[in-house]
Amino acid sequence: MELLGERLAFPILLAPTPFQKAIHPDGERAAAKGAAAADTIFVVSSSSTIRLEDVTETPNGKWWFQL
């Protein structure tokens, strides 16, 4: 499947959810790793609890930014 030029295993995105560290100590970093493992896109919230640069370091990660 292709979505806006990105090849995906299936057409599901991980939605932008703010303040993930309030629920899990790894916050958005863990969500980005899960999305990469599922071969889908992680949409980073503009209210993320980690730096965008940290999300982009995820191996094989695909991400978009919600503004």
Q: Which pTM value belongs to this model?
A: 0.83
pLDDT 10s digits, 14-37 = 889 899 999 999 999 999 999 999
Q: Residue 20: its pLDDT value, please?
A: 92
pLDDT for res 44: 92
Q: What is the pLDDT of residue 3?
A: 82
DSSP 3-state of 37? helix
Q: What is the pLDDT of residues 43-55, one digit of tens each?
A: 999 999 988 888 8
* DSSP annotation string for 1-32: -EETTEE-SSS-EE---S-GGGT-TTHHHHHH
Question: Once rounded to an integer, what is the mean pLDDT over residues 35-44?
Answer: 90
pLDDT score at 8: 81
